[in-house]
Amino acid sequence: MSKSSEEVLLVIKHVRYKKTEGTLYMMGERMAWMLESKNVFSVSHLYADIKVQKISPDSKDKVQLQVVMHDGGASTFQFANPKGRTAQQEDRESVKELLQQLLPQFRRKVSSELEVKNKLLQEDPELFQLYKDLVVSQVITAEEFWASKAHKFGSSNKNDVKQNIGVSPAFLSEFWTRFFQSHYFHRDRVAITNKDIFSECAKHDEEEIKQEISQKVTNPLVDLTEIKDAAVDEDYRGITEDNRVSTNIMNQSLIRRFNHHSTMVLRTCQSELPAKSSENGMANEVEIAKGSILKESVTENGRIPKRTIGVSEKEPVLKKTHYQSVVELEDLGRERAVPAVSLRLDRMERYLHGPTPASASRYTSTEDAMAALHNITEQISSWRDSLTAVSVSAHHSLGVLGELSPGGALMHGTTQQQLQHMVSKEMQKELKHNYSALCELLRHFWSCFPTTTKFLEDKVVKMRTTLERFQSAKLFPLKEQLSHHHLSVDLIGHMEEMLSGAFNKFDQWQARRMSRKT
Helix (H, G, I), strand (E, B) or coil at 353: coil
Quickly state the pLDDT bin for 170 (edges 50, 70, 90).
confident
The pLDDT value given to residue 101:
86
Quickly state the pLDDT bin for 301 (edges 50, 70, 90).
very low
Nearest to 29, CA basis, from 112, 113, 111, 103: 103
Question: What is the arithmetic mean of pLDDT over 293-309?
Answer: 44
Report pLDDT digits (tens) over 89-112.
888 889 888 888 888 887 766 566
Nearest to 49, CA basis, from 117, 100, 110: 110
The pLDDT value given to residue 302:
45
Helix (H, G, I), strand (E, B) or coil at 2: coil
* Per-position DSSP letters for 192-248, written without gaps between them: --TTSTTHHHHHHHHHHHHHHHHSPPS-GGG-GGG------STTSPP----------
| Residues 119/152, Cβ–Cβ less than 8 Å | no
Instruction: Report d(CA 350, CA 32) in Å as an integer.
Output: 108
Instruction: Report d(CA 244, CA 227) in Å as an integer.
Output: 16
Instruction: Report d(CA 415, CA 407) in Å as an integer.
Output: 8
Report pLDDT digits (tens) over 252-266.
878 888 888 888 888
The pLDDT value given to residue 409:
63
Report pLDDT digits (tens) over 345-354.
777 777 776 6
Instruction: Report d(CA 132, CA 354) in Å as an integer.
Output: 76
Asked if the model's pLDDT at residue 304 lies above 50, the reply is no
For a pLDDT cut of 90, what percent of the chain falls above it? Answer: 7
Asked if the model's pLDDT at residue 503 lies above 90, the reply is yes
> What is the sign, positive or negative, of the torsion defined by CA atoms of 434, 435, 436, 441?
positive
Instruction: Report d(CA 330, CA 509) in Å as an integer.
Output: 79
Which pTM value belongs to this model?
0.35
The pLDDT value given to residue 128:
85
Residue 429 CB partners (closer than 8 Å, separation 6+): none
Determine which helix (DSSP H) or strand (DSSP E) holds 69, and give its type and residue range.
strand 64-69
Return left, alpha or beta for 451; rule: phi > 0 is left, psi -120 to 50 is alpha, else beta: beta
Instruction: Report d(CA 513, CA 507) in Å as an integer.
Output: 10
The pLDDT value given to residue 496:
92
